Structure 1
Amino acid sequence: MLGAADIRRIADEAGVSPTKKFGQNFVIDPGTVRRIVREAGVRAGDHVMEVGPGLGSLTLAILETGARVTAVEIDPPLARRLPDTVAEFMPQAADRLHVVVRDALDVTPDNLTDFAGDERFSLVANLPYNVATPILLTLLERFDALDTFLVMVQKEVADRLAATPGSKIYGTPSVKLAWYGEAQRVGTIGRNVFWPAPNVDSALVLFRRYREPRFEARDRRDVFALIDAAFGQRRKTLHAALRRMVPDAAFAAAGIDPGRRGETLTVGEFAALARAAKEVRA
């Protein structure tokens, strides 16, 4: 595993310095990366996607279990260095690592063929704070075989991802993630395990996709449009926020009080409202 001295040496040898552009904060504590892998439940033979592997701390911890890793790295110098780091610290695992130089928001089953089939896989990552939510929702939408994820994100982001209806922090990310499965916070990580140390604490979020889809994939665009509109004006009632999208009769058909606010609705209720709106217009 990589310690603080290893991280700084590797960064120096690779001519790499952490950048705000890519939200880079490298983990320098072996205990933290092993904890992440343990919470994720990674086992030998599993196939894991890692987004933003950086200098390889978490990558090595995943490989240590006997799993295969496909690492998606946006920064070319870091991507070039990662196989060398694995070869140095864990040579027996070098053939279980595949590095892809690409923005995680651009990956699809067509250009990330490691995950083009039906084999179930998991995501384990220390995600850049500024794009964590878009990355998660994009990957869940594009990869039906993404079964679970365990990610380290900014604590406030973690709270929003795992929030439930009625909470002040329940919002668009909470509802959209619930479309696919269930998320929960499983731990807090202090800022002192990073280099450079961020100005915020981090937390771990564990997600499991529903064994069977609970909603029709073809309805997702309409449902997500309602969610965006409802939370875009979260202080307004549903009737006011959705007046251009949902006929009055649809509220009654869905059994939803138009005087409620979006922050009180479950994803199932948003789905019911979207279906009712479509049926009323038909």
Structure 2
Amino acid sequence: MYQINALNPKDEGHHTRKRFGQNFLHDQRVIAKIVRSVNPRPGDNIVEIGPGLAALTSPLIGECDALTVVELDRDLAAGLPGRVPHPERLTIIETDALKYDFSNLFEDDRPLRVVGNLPYNISTPLLFHLLEFGDKVKDMHFMLQKEVVDRITAAPNTKEYGRLSVMIQYYCKPTFLFEVPPGSFNPPPKVTSAVFRLEPYEVKPIVAKNEKALSRLVSHVFTQRRKTLRNSLKGMLAEDGFEKAGVDPMARPETLTLAEFVALADQMVV
């Protein structure tokens, strides 16, 4: 988990834990750039996932009335109040973000703004877990491995384009913001990272008749991405499904737009 920290974690008496995938960000320029991207304001309902040793938490909490953090590491959670300038503004939820019901933090006039550094091994399920609360979220700013961010923001006809691209873009507008090199962390990870923004749609520009069917179709075709759609979707579509969807049955999945995937999903035999 890329947990942001401006200090050497050893100086804080905390050792990185492999099971949490902890890499602490020490680059002040990157920290400032993240805060500028989030652009916190008084009254914002900000939730930070994985605050680590609080280097991002501290500047964020200085700009808003209150900040909620979700932290799995109990040692880090216990030390957070002593690391921030306004501990009275801090609410700590010590739990696994994958299992947490984020609707508990929603208020009608204060949609959630989520910030976090997501661990690689659970990044995809955590993103989809957060999208379950998309109607309660204004925006999300995350840091992930650059290769994952490239997949989230990819366009059709690129090698990065796949299931993650299609499904995230169905629910959100993604924006690639900037890269973060390995040397910005302690210990340095083996990959380049990137910060990106997700803005859930209040009204989706394209709406599937059955979102579960869309997810099933997209997942299926990208597990067989070398096959033509006709071959990979045998028995899954109505007889005239390709014709009604206006999609070439000889096309391969990486060439389809989101609108074409939705049109195909609407022709599925569910």
TM-score, normalization: structure 1?
A: 0.87
What letter is aligned with 1:38? R
CA contact (8 A) 1:108 1:143 kept: no
**1:208-264, Cα deviation, whole Å (9 max, x unpaired):** 222322344762111000010010111111111121322341111111111111111
1:104 to 68, 76, 97: 97
The residue aligned with 1:141 is 132
Higher helix share: 1
CA contact (8 A) 1:52 1:128 kept: no
**In 2 relative to 1, CA 121–128 (structure 1 residues): closer, same or farther, beyond 3 Å?**
same
- 1:259 aligned to 2:259? no
The residue aligned with 1:220 is 211
The residue aligned with 1:24 is 22
CA contact (8 A) 2:208 2:262 kept: no
2:106 to 109, 115, 131: 115
CA contact (8 A) 2:135 2:202 kept: no
**1:49-101, Cα deviation, whole Å (9 max, x unpaired):** 11111111111121122253211111221112212222xxx0xx222211111
| RMSD of aligned residue pairs (Cα, Å) | 2.1
The residue aligned with 1:9 is 11
Identity over aligned pairs, percent: 36
Residue 130 of structure 1 and its aligned partner are, at CA, apart by 2.2
The residue aligned with 2:77 is 79
Query: What SS is found at the alignment partner of 2:266?
Result: helix
CA contact (8 A) 2:208 2:265 kept: no
CA contact (8 A) 1:4 1:29 kept: no
The residue aligned with 1:270 is 261
Residue 169 of structure 1 and its aligned partner are, at CA, apart by 0.7
Residue 206 of structure 1 and its aligned partner are, at CA, apart by 1.5
The residue aligned with 1:153 is 144
CA distance in 2 between partners of 1:123 and 1:221 (Å): 25
* Equivalence map 1:27-106=2 (5 Å): 27-86=25-84, 90=85, 93-106=86-99
User: In terms of mean alpha carbon deviation, does 162-171 or 120-129 score higher?
Assistant: 120-129
**In 2 relative to 1, CA 205–231 (structure 1 residues): closer, same or farther, beyond 3 Å?**
same
CA contact (8 A) 1:149 1:206 kept: yes
Query: What SS is found at the alignment partner of 1:204?
Result: strand
TM-score, normalization: structure 2?
A: 0.91
Question: How many pairs align?
Answer: 267
* Equivalence map 1:189-204=2 (5 Å): 189-204=180-195
What letter is aligned with 1:186? L
CA distance in 1 between partners of 2:109 and 2:250 (Å): 43
* Equivalence map 1:240-255=2 (5 Å): 240-255=231-246
CA contact (8 A) 1:48 1:67 kept: no
User: In terms of mean alpha carbon deviation, does 167-176 or 25-34 score higher?
Assistant: 25-34
**1:11-51, Cα deviation, whole Å (9 max, x unpaired):** x1xxx321221111111122222211111232222111111
CA contact (8 A) 1:118 1:145 kept: no
CA contact (8 A) 1:70 1:99 kept: yes
CA contact (8 A) 1:127 1:153 kept: yes
**In 2 relative to 1, CA 245–207 (structure 1 residues): closer, same or farther, beyond 3 Å?**
same
CA contact (8 A) 2:135 2:200 kept: no
**In 2 relative to 1, CA 185–131 (structure 1 residues): closer, same or farther, beyond 3 Å?**
same
Residue 173 of structure 1 and its aligned partner are, at CA, apart by 0.9
CA distance in 2 between partners of 1:271 and 1:222 (Å): 9
Residue 160 of structure 1 and its aligned partner are, at CA, apart by 0.8
What letter is aligned with 1:130? N
